[in-house]
């Protein structure tokens, strides 16, 4: 049976529908995670980072257990790849610790835009780590992206904020973890990796808090360091609820992002990760009265363009 050209074949319509669903799921996931960033920046003025991560992870633990059970069953947690899972979780713990530490010292738009250099780090490391061939056009896009970073950081002008390096460190560590996930391939379900990551966050936050408490660091002045070493206190009902919401956000956001990459090609949905750059300045303006600087907007635009070019060229 011949289908009218205007309608297209059932297979083509199905692929278009799956692509649309994948894009929608990914945009929802990015939007949900952007709310977590705003919440953590809000509570960074009165609570310790380790406390926030610990409480968030406690809330996320049962939710992720349910997700694992629904996807592959709890037996999948008894994985033979424990060392790889633990190493990846450790790297992710470092990535998120650096990322969140930047929040008290930087406008939200700056911290998030610098973090979105992740695709550039992934592209640059794909050659030595995965043995992928990286052409000169892709390398040119990477160089362009880091030119955008320099526009944002303004080194040598007296306006440079060292906390910006925390966002870049976070991006490099997160990119490394993503390459590890790609190398693991389909051997490990996403929900299992997310569960181990959450568990390591919980234990890592408790361990770091204990070490910092014993160190008794009392003369910290930089807001990023203060956020890390501040002693734990009992949260108010409102703040405790906001931190708990982060646990739900992390689990639900992971569910949407996972669904996006399952129903559509990664090359189709990945560019929409950059919608996070749109939400950060909005939340910064609405909740913290932050107005992005011209250099922030220019640098973010360059990073966005460079990242999209690098991803497009890498998929050719």
pLDDT at 21: 83
Query: Over the stretch 256-307, which tens digit does the pLDDT of each residue have?
Result: 877 776 676 666 777 787 888 889 999 999 999 999 888 888 988 888 888 8
Whether 41 is in a domain gets the answer yes
Give CA 230 to chain center in angstroms. Answer: 24
pLDDT at 55: 94
pTM over 0.85: no
Please provide the average confidence, as pLDDT, over all residues in the chain: 83
Whether 11 is in a domain gets the answer no
pLDDT at 86 over 70: yes
Question: 210-216, long-range: CB within 8 Å, 24+ apart, which pairs?
Answer: 212/50
pLDDT at 12: 61
Please state, in angstroms and rounded to a whole number, the distance separating the CA atoms of residues 55 and 310. Answer: 37
pLDDT at 153: 80
254 is in which domain, residue-wise? 27-314
Identify whether the C-beta of residue 78 lies closer than 8 Å to the C-beta of residue 135.
no
Residue 104 class from Cβ within 10 Å (0-12 exposed, 13-18 middle, 19+ buried)?
Answer: buried
Residue 2 class from Cβ within 10 Å (0-12 exposed, 13-18 middle, 19+ buried)?
Answer: exposed
Whether 18 is in a domain gets the answer no
DSSP 165-189: HHHHHHHHHHHHHHHHHHHHGGGS-
Which of 50-54, 74-78, 131-135, 274-278 is most confident?
Answer: 50-54
Whether 2 is in a domain gets the answer no
Identify whether the C-beta of residue 295 lies closer than 8 Å to the C-beta of residue 154.
yes
pLDDT at 1: 39
Residue 111 class from Cβ within 10 Å (0-12 exposed, 13-18 middle, 19+ buried)?
Answer: buried
Whether 21 is in a domain gets the answer no
Query: Over the stretch 51-71, which tens digit does the pLDDT of each residue have?
Result: 999 999 999 899 889 888 888
Alpha-helix runs per DSSP H in the chain: 10-43, 49-71, 82-102, 108-115, 118-130, 136-153, 164-184, 190-215, 223-229, 237-263, 266-269, 276-288, 294-314
Whether 19 is in a domain gets the answer no
Whose tokens are 């040598």? That residue is 156
Radius of gyration of the chain (CA): 20
Greater pLDDT, 311 or 286: 286
Q: How many domains does the chain have?
A: 1
Query: Over the stretch 175-221, which tens digit does the pLDDT of each residue have?
Result: 888 777 766 655 667 778 788 888 899 999 999 999 998 988 878 88
Whether 256 is in a domain gets the answer yes
Please state, in angstroms and rounded to a whole number, the distance separating the CA atoms of residues 265 and 214. Answer: 48
Whether 216 is in a domain gets the answer yes
């Amino acid at each position: 049976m011949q289908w009218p050209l205007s309608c297209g074949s059932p297979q083509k319509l199905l692929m278009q529908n799956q692509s649309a669903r994948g894009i929608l799921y990914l945009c929802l996931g990015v939007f949900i995670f952007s709310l977590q960033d705003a919440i953590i920046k809000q509570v960074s003025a009165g609570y310790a980072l380790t406390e926030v991560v610990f409480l968030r992870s406690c809330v996320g633990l049962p939710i992720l257990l349910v997700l694992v059970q629904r996807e592959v069953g709890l037996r999948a947690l008894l994985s033979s790849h424990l060392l790889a899972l633990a190493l990846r979780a450790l790297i992710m713990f470092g990535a998120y610790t650096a990322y969140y530490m930047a929040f008290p010292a930087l406008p939200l738009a700056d911290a998030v835009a610098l973090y979105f250099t992740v695709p550039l780090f992934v592209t640059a490391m794909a050659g030595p780590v995965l043995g992928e061939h990286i052409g000169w056009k892709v390398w040119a896009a990477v160089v362009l992206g880091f030119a955008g970073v320099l526009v944002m950081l303004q080194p040598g002008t007296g306006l440079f904020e060292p906390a910006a390096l925390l966002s870049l460190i976070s991006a490099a560590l997160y990119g490394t973890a993503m390459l590890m996930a790609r190398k693991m391939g389909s051997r490990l379900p996403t929900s299992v990796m997310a569960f181990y990551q959450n568990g390591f966050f919980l234990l890592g936050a408790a361990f770091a808090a204990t070490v910092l408490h014993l160190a008794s660091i009392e003369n910290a002045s930089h807001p990023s360091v203060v956020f890390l070493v501040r002693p734990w206190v009992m949260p108010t009902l409102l703040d405790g609820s906001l931190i708990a919401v982060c646990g739900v956000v992390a689990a639900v956001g992971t569910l949407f992002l996972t669904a996006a990459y399952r129903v559509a090609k990664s090359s189709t949905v990945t560019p929409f990760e950059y919608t996070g750059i749109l939400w950060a300045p909005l939340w910064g303006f609405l909740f913290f009265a932050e107005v992005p600087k011209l250099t922030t907007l220019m640098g973010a635009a360059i990073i966005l363009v460079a990242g999209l070019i690098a991803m497009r060229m890498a998929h050719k």
